[in-house]
Amino acid sequence: MDSPTVETFAPLVETAFSLRLASGDDPIALRLVGVTPLGRQPNAPRIEPFALEFAGPAQPQLEQRIYRLEHEKLGSIEIFLVPIGFDPAGGLRYEAVFN
């Protein structure tokens, strides 16, 4: 995927993405729970930056780094995820910012 946009992810809210920490591991399910436009930024590399928010399980706790996520419609994409706190359902939340 060359340059994902808000329009790329908006239809995927409330759908599942999966990742594997290592080859042969069971996949970890993340649910896309939000797509937030961040407003136009003068002189920014991306004309319309945005953020994605994912909900995941309480364990394992993912560290801040790049992960390869898989989605049935989107295919494979590498995203830098940052843990941002707890999910009301008891899991963890992660954010990816595209700027």
d(CA 43, CA 16): 34
CATH 3.30.43 matches 6-98 = no
pLDDT at 43: 72
Q: Which residues contact 96 (CB under 8 A, 6 or more apart)?
A: 51, 52, 54, 79, 80, 81, 82
Average pLDDT over residues 92-96: 98
pLDDT of 54-66, one tens digit each?
A: 999 999 999 999 9
Q: Percentage of the chain with pLDDT > 70?
A: 96
Say what the pTM is.
Answer: 0.89
The alpha-helical segments, DSSP class H, found in 3-96 are 6-9
pLDDT of 35-82, one tens digit each?
A: 999 887 777 666 788 999 999 999 999 999 999 999 999 999 999 999
